[in-house]
Amino acid sequence: MSVLDKALWTLAFLLAYLVAPTTLIWGWMSWCWQEKARAISSILSFIGFTLASASAVLALSAIAFAELGGFQSNSGFFLFAKAIKTGGILSSAGFLFSLAGLWQKSPTRWQAPASAIGTLVFWLVATTWP
């Protein structure tokens, strides 16, 4: 593996396992403690953040299911593939919604796209780790 490959995997690992959880926790704390904006862009940002959070919950559930040995059978492979597809769709949709929320100040303005990218990278890392 070249130095560039190692650097890219390190960046992907940091996005998936450090940035995503940090921005999700920070975003939920910000959303709970700050005044909620009623503009459409802030609502779209929150929808994107919620979709990224759903992707993270699915990721945690898939990890727990794997630890319990749930993916070892032939049908487990299809469940894993379905979880990856669903998680990728949730993260991608979350990112698209969060882009619409960047234009106006809101509690989840920056956390929404960061967590959506982080969870999307998690699903990519989970399927292609060398």
At 126, list the tokens: 């989970």
Query: What are the structure tokens assigned to 56, written together?
Result: 């993270």
Tokens of 66: 């794997």
Domain that holds residue 47: 3-128
Structurally, the chain folds into a number of domains equal to 1
Write down the pLDDT at residue 81: 86
Separation CA 110–CA 42 (nearest Å): 11
* DSSP conformational letter for 34: S
User: Residue range 36-49: average pLDDT?
Assistant: 88
Q: CB–CB of 101/48 below 8 Å? A: yes
Mean pLDDT of 13-32: 90
Q: What is the pLDDT of residues 92-118, one digit of tens each?
A: 999 999 998 888 888 888 999 999 999
Q: Which range has the top average pLDDT, 60-74, 89-103, 116-130?
A: 89-103
User: DSSP labels for 93-128?
Assistant: HHHHHHHHTTTS--TTTTHHHHHHHHHHHHHHHHHH
**2 C-beta neighbours (distance < 10 Å), count:** 7
Are the C-beta atoms of 121 and 18 separated by less than 8 Å? no
